[in-house]
Structure 1
Amino acid sequence: MKGPPVKDVAVIIPTMRRPDMLERALKSVFAQKGVEHRLASVVVVDNDPGGSAASVVGRLTEACPVPLVYRHEPRPGVSTARNAGLAATISPLIAFLDDDEKATPDWLAKLIKARETLKCDVVFGPIHGRVPPGTGWTTAYLERFFGRQGPEKTGLIDHAYGCGNSLMLRATALPGDAPFDPKTDQSGGEDDALFSALSMRGGTFGWAADAWVDEFAPPHRATLNYALTRAFAYGQSPPQLAWREGKPVRMLLWMGVGAAQAGIWGMAALALTVVNSDRRAEALDKAARGLGKVFWTKGFEPHFYGARELERLEKAKA
């Protein structure tokens, strides 16, 4: 006799002082189709020291088709928040959705199907970047920046993306009580370190081409300055990882690549600026990533999360 279905998937949503976005993200999870027999819980990790998400969760609890778990983690930090979410569930499959994302109705079902078909440790899905009105000539660039494009078809891939819009096999991809390094709480990059370690252990990555989410960049992030600073930080990841892994030669090679990248794309950006081309944003992005590969050491790391994000939110509110 066949037993009852096993509910083995938890969705974790870290959030910090974005109640409207959180409500949109939660409602998109409540509306998921075809996963009633798999979804065990939805976990909201409130990373605001003031606990601002509690009222949103309390108001929406009855609308959630499964247990809606609230965890207050008052220590601001992206890794600390993700680890707190993991501590709130024992589910063997973990889906991460960011609070500024909205999942399509078949998002989770597509991730689950892709992971089971590909038999991979982590599967990622594509993202439509959305920016508020008023971003002018940078709109197309910012939409691409906050979005995520991948292969046209579902399949195994040889690299990882960010945690947002992902499904992970906990036993292999998220080992231990705190798989996300708290040292990255303020700067980010916690997913790069996690997936680099998984790759070194022989882990595999997959792509679910039809598991779409929309990502809505808030006004204080939907700027060219913010995007280029993030691009600089993204560029820092390869040499930083090489150094942490004890590979100084690879680190130096990345620095050389970065210097060339910064020089070539910096000149291209200058030329495109002279002719007032919108394409200069893409060139500036590539130059910034190159500079990040050169200036990757401590002291050059920009901070996007935790206390720094609280400061930005306070300024935006004022």
Structure 2
Amino acid sequence: MRDVAVIIPTLRRTDSLERALRSVFAQAEALERVSAVVVADNDPEGSAEPLVMRLAADAPVALTYAHAPVPGVATARNVGLAATYAPLIAFLDDDEAASPRWLAALLEAQVQIGADVVFGPIRGRVPANTGWTTDYLEAFFGRTGPAETGLVDEPWGCGNSLMVRATALPGPAPFDTAADQTGGEDDKLFAALSARGGRYGWAADAWVDEFAPPHRATLRYALTRAFAYGQGPSQTAAAARDWPGVARWMAIGVAQAGVWGLASLALFLLRRPSRARAYDRLARGLGKVLWQRGFEPRLYGASLLKSA
């Protein structure tokens, strides 16, 4: 039964896209379940199409090209979804490479625990020249969770996930395109799913590697993204007009910024490598406070065209 589609959004990263695609083609245990691998090309110029057409000739499963010419992460995911009717959707990012049992582990976990969304762990990979920030950056681009497969209380991001379409991805365009330039489209999706009583799971063996390109493997980029992550809870509460919730998250942010601001200063004076993690927590705290329009970093969509 071919009931799974793998969707890979991409933007001008054909080398890493090819690596991601070949890692999906190597999913021997689960390949018979895959109805299509969909590449959602977010480049207005359609730069991924020649690669997809070349690989499609010998691909072990159907390889579909879907053009999403308006740059934006939510738009790309919606266009990818529109290209398939599969009831189960696996998301893999174009800078990730799946381990050989990645998809099988996600599918097994979904059956075992019956979650609407299942996430897997990510190993962060960064270039060799990142110096004292290497450990922090590898952790930042990675993702760890429980040692065993099972239900979890909170969601992670869309990269390396399996979703039940009927419950987790309702409607023709479930990702909010208002988040195209700033990201956070998965925060809004999962907040709505949680409100409907959705359940989340963790597949401990569904490993992928995420390879951060040089222009992203910097402390400045990571802290900017950490600030954006910090904005997520406050923005989600504001979108729901939950003003007491906004006030609570802002208060948490003030406390985090105060504690980690002092820790950052001390670790900076001591020149400890662990100061990068303190900066990260400081940035997330500030994000909870400065969540309003005008403070949102532009990390996705059109802003990526210059660096992709």
CA RMSD of aligned residues (A): 0.7
Question: What does residue 267 of structure 2 align with?
Answer: 272
- Aligned to 1:212, which of 185, 204, 207? 207
Which amino acid is 1:242 matched to? A
Spell out the pairing of 1:33-72 with structure 2 (5 A cutoff).
33-72=28-67
- Aligned to 2:297, which of 267, 285, 302? 302
Helix, strand or coil for the counterpart of 1:45? strand
Which amino acid is 1:259 matched to? V
Q: Matched residues in 2 for 1:237 and 1:61: separation? A: 38
Runs of 4+ in 1 over 6 A off after TM superposition: none
Tell me, yes or no, if structure 1 residue 200 matches structure 2 residue 208: no
Which amino acid is 2:239 matched to? R
Q: Matched residues in 2 for 1:113 and 1:63: separation? A: 28
Report deviation, 1:64: 1.5
Q: Matched residues in 2 for 1:37 and 1:49: separation? A: 33
Report deviation, 1:123: 0.1
Question: What does residue 173 of structure 2 align with?
Answer: 178
Question: What does residue 20 of structure 2 align with?
Answer: 25
Cα offsets for 1:211-244 (capped at 9, x unmatched): 0000000111000000000000000011111111
Cα offsets for 1:236-276 (capped at 9, x unmatched): 01111111112111110110110110111011011101111
Question: What does residue 226 of structure 1 align with?
Answer: 221
Helix, strand or coil for the counterpart of 2:32? coil
Cα offsets for 1:16-45 (capped at 9, x unmatched): 000000000000000002113311110001
Report deviation, 1:72: 1.2
Q: Matched residues in 1 for 2:124 and 2:108: separation? A: 24
Question: What does residue 110 of structure 2 align with?
Answer: 115
Report deviation, 1:63: 2.7
Q: How many residues align?
A: 308
Tell me if structure 1 keeps the 8 A contact 2:25–2:31: no
Question: What does residue 141 of structure 2 align with?
Answer: 146
Q: Matched residues in 2 for 1:9 and 1:65: separation? A: 14
Question: What does residue 16 of structure 1 align with?
Answer: 11
Helix, strand or coil for the counterpart of 1:230? helix
Question: What does residue 3 of structure 1 align with?
Answer: none
Q: Matched residues in 1 for 2:31 and 2:107: separation? A: 12
Could you state the TM-score of these two structures normalised by the residue count of structure 2? 0.99
Could you state the TM-score of these two structures normalised by the residue count of structure 1? 0.96
Helix, strand or coil for the counterpart of 1:215? strand
- Unmatched 5+ residue regions in structure 2? none
Tell me if structure 2 keeps the 8 A contact 1:30–1:63: no
Question: What does residue 251 of structure 2 align with?
Answer: 256
Report deviation, 1:311: 2.1
Q: Identity of aligned pairs, percent?
A: 64
- Unmatched 5+ residue regions in structure 1? 1-5, 314-318
Tell me, yes or no, if structure 1 residue 281 matches structure 2 residue 276: yes
